[in-house]
Structure 1
């Protein structure tokens, strides 16, 4: 998903006031997040927690490392670490929510006790 949403836009944009933005546009990052949100929710709702959390985290971390490793300053390692920690935390939360929601939907209603 990284390559599909972020991999093709590698140019920084220079604004009229001289500031630089980019290389990614806001809509690209939002698209990546929403796409991964759907995939993580789907996997976690089917009890594939390890794949949902660790698979997404590993995939994003490797993609960020590959995409940013040509940075000569070495600061890409900080960014990759932040991607790793953020994606781990976010996918863990989404997985927990998905598990709670689907567990609630799948449980039959409790039988009411009626004394005779």
Structure 2
């Protein structure tokens, strides 16, 4: 397999979370001020759920097609890059901690999801003719 064919799934799985972040979260930058003075946001629960479901479909599809490593690393890198870009205007610098948490959580979650899907679909390992005796 050529290097470009190996990198293509990872590149696609890097771009999907970036686009999904922009579609679900990137447009909403307003914090909600409640009557008691407390502040929440900028994201609503439905936006985050939409992002997670979009990523679940992408990771599931890739894992079911034997692209487990690309699903995990590409999705994690894309989601982390999107968070860094979106939150980088935070003057306190705390966005780095948030982006780090996104990186760790997405790595763990995508690894778990991709592993389960690959195992369920029977694509956990690529079969080789020599290994199977074919």
Q: TM-score band (shorter)?
A: 0.7 to 0.9
RMSD over aligned Cα atoms: 1.0
Q: Which has the larger radius of gyration?
A: 1
TM-aligned CA deviation for residue 49 of structure 1: 1.0
1:47-95 deviations in Å (ceiling 9; x for gaps): 1012100010000000000000110101000000000000000000000
1:3-53 deviations in Å (ceiling 9; x for gaps): 000000000000111110100000000000011001100000111012100
Q: Name the CA distance, whole Å, in 2 between partners of 1:101 and 1:50.
A: 16
Q: Name the CA distance, whole Å, in 1 between partners of 2:59 and 2:68.
A: 9
Structure 1 runs, 4 residues or longer, greater than 2 Å off: none
Matched, 1:3 2:22: yes
Give the number of the structure whose residues are more often helix, by fraction: 2
| Equivalent position of 1:35 in the other structure | 54
Q: Name the CA distance, whole Å, in 2 between partners of 1:74 and 1:94.
A: 31
Matched, 1:75 2:94: yes
Unaligned residue ranges in structure 1 (runs of 5+): 105-116
Unaligned residue ranges in structure 2 (runs of 5+): 1-19, 124-134
The TM-score, its normalising length taken from structure 1, stands at 0.87
| 1:1-116 equivalent positions in 2, closer than 5 A | 1-103=20-122
| Equivalent position of 1:107 in the other structure | none
Question: How many residues of Structure 1 are paired with residues of Structure 2 in the alignment?
Answer: 104
Greater RCO between the two (CA within 8 Å, min separation 6)?
2
The TM-score, its normalising length taken from structure 2, stands at 0.76
